[in-house]
Amino acid sequence: MRSSKAIVLIEVICASALALVTIVAIESTLRSKPVLQWLDLHRPPYIPRSGLVDIRVHVEKQMLHLEALAREPERRVSFVGSSSVVNGIDEYDVKVALKAAPKLQPRNLGLTGMLSSELSPLRSLLVSDGTVAVVYLYNGFSFSDVRNPDAIDARGSAIDDLNHEPIAWWQIRRAARFGERLLSERLWIRRYRNLIISYVERILASDIEPLRSPFDYSVDRPPPPMSERTRVPRPPVSSENWVRRAYIESSERDTTLGYSALSSFCDDLKRNNVRLIISAAPEALFGRTNPYAVGIDFDAIDARIEKISKQCGAYYIGRDKVFEDDDANFVDEVHLSAKGREKYSKAIGAKVDEVLGR
């Protein structure tokens, strides 16, 4: 009996070990430079609301792009923020404007729905060894305590969350979720699972090609119709909606996780001799009347950020209200059109050039 128990035990151990070796082998292959470069080059385009690329795939692809860029040994200026950055910063136009530091490579590190509380957990990806400056472009919703539910699995940090909300010994379910998240964050095959599946699907459909444009919207996308560009305030959506809550908290409270995270990030960069430039991401004036942002005090948010910037030695660039009042610069409330992107990238590039040239 004892020997048969041992045989069964050996079988179980062998099967588990083999599974572990296989998982490690797949993980190592995925993290190897050639594979990562190929995945980054062939990342899927974003086709909003078509159902072809879901938001999880979109978030994971942006994160994998950051992972790929973090391995590049280059001196760079990183542009960090939400989808306003994803669609608002053209690396080429910024580079043209960087006359004082022509060898610096501007990098668009925008992440859809990014909040400032994510700056610290994502620090290792946002700030590489060669990063000279970080340009953080915030939105009116960036400084709340809420989390972007679509991004928790791909971008969240279980350790960070644990620091904010410790787990009691009887909270088995939370502890299990913590363990699962920790594992998923460490293993790319789990963290980028939806993205990897999308590659397999595209390969099976013979529909895989290098990404043509890093932006979410086609270059010829027009501004929204006049009916959506009204300056008349519309009824707000429920404050249960996470975006609305994020706007409200950023506007009404100055002690949120978001504001303290920005201060810490700023101090951290200062200690490491990385220049931080903070500016409001361009948000269309017509967007201030939409159901998510209606009634939000953008001036109060700007004033708080200016104060934080002064306190920690970051350079603050004010909001360009003339640019924001021109509807042709936008395809919707927070995303720039091709024309707007070109104008804005050149302008922010010139400003960064001026700051770095001092």
Partner 1 sequence: MSFHSIEFFFLLSVTLFVLAAVTHTARPWILVIASYLFYAAGSLLWLAILVAMTLLNFGLAKLIERGSAKGNGGALIIGVVINAALLASYKYAGFLAETFNSIAGCKCLPIVSLELPLGISFYVFESISYIVDVHRKRMPAVRRLRDYALFISFFPHLVAGPIVRAADFVPQTETAKPFDPYASRRGLELIAVGFFKKLVIADNLAPFVDRVFLNHAAYGGGVLWIACIAFAIQIYCDFSGYTDIARGIAKLLGFELALNFDWPYFSRSIRDFWRRWHISLSSWLRDYLYIPLGGNRGGLTQFASAVTVTWFLGGLWHGASWTFILWGIYHGTLVTAAGWSRGSRIGSLWEHVPAPLQMLIVFLSVVAGWVLFRAKTIVDAMQIWGGMLGLGSMPFTEKFDRVSPLLIVGMLVAALMHSITYRLRRHQDNVCSIGVESVTLRVVAIAAIIVGCFLLAGTSQTFIYFQF
Q: Quick one: three-class SS letters along 11-38?
A: HHHHHHHHHHHHHHHHHHHHHCHHHHHH
Distance, CA of 80 to CA of 128 (rounded, Å): 13
Select from 4-12, 94-102, 208-216, 278-286 the region that touches partner 1 (CB under 8 A). Answer: 4-12
Residues 16-45 that bind partner 1 (CB under 8 A): 16, 18-19, 22-23, 26
Would you say 23 or 328 has its CB closer to partner 1? 23
Q: Check binding of 5 to partner 1 (CB under 8 A).
A: yes
Distance, CA of 76 to CA of 172 (rounded, Å): 44
Q: Check binding of 347 to partner 1 (CB under 8 A).
A: no
Q: Is 26 exposed, middle or buried (0-12, 13-18, 19+ CB in 10 A)?
A: middle
Of 44, 38, 46, residue with least CA distance to 83: 46
Q: Check binding of 15 to partner 1 (CB under 8 A).
A: yes
Distance, CA of 36 to CA of 296 (rounded, Å): 41
When binding is defined by CB under 8 A, the residue of 36, 152, 167, 175 that contacts partner 1 is 175
Q: Which two tokens stand for residue 196?
A: 């990897």
Alpha helices (H) in 98-164, listed in sequence order: 123-126, 152-155, 158-164
Q: Check binding of 172 to partner 1 (CB under 8 A).
A: yes
Distance, CA of 232 to CA of 255 (rounded, Å): 31
Q: Is 344 exposed, middle or buried (0-12, 13-18, 19+ CB in 10 A)?
A: buried
Q: Which two tokens stand for residue 215?
A: 């932006």
Residues in the chain: 358
Q: Check binding of 168 to partner 1 (CB under 8 A).
A: no
Would you say 6 or 300 has its CB closer to partner 1? 6
For the four alpha carbons of 3, 8, 9 and 10, in that order, the dihedral sign comes to positive
Select from 10-18, 80-88, 159-167, 208-216 the region that touches partner 1 (CB under 8 A). Answer: 10-18
Would you say 174 or 253 has its CB closer to partner 1? 174
Residue 200: CB minimum distance to partner 1, A: 6
Q: How far is CA 121 from the centre of its chain?
A: 11
Q: Check binding of 351 to partner 1 (CB under 8 A).
A: no
Would you say 33 or 173 has its CB closer to partner 1? 173
Q: Check binding of 7 to partner 1 (CB under 8 A).
A: yes
Residue 156: CB minimum distance to partner 1, A: 17
When binding is defined by CB under 8 A, the residue of 176, 219, 300, 303 that contacts partner 1 is 176
Tell me the one-letter amino acid at 140. G
Would you say 23 or 100 has its CB closer to partner 1? 23
Residues 200-219 that bind partner 1 (CB under 8 A): 200-201, 204-205
Q: Under the rule (CB under 8 A), what is the footprint of partner 1?
A: 1, 4-5, 7-8, 11-12, 14-16, 18-19, 22-23, 26, 51-52, 172-173, 175-176, 179, 189-190, 193, 197, 200-201, 204-205
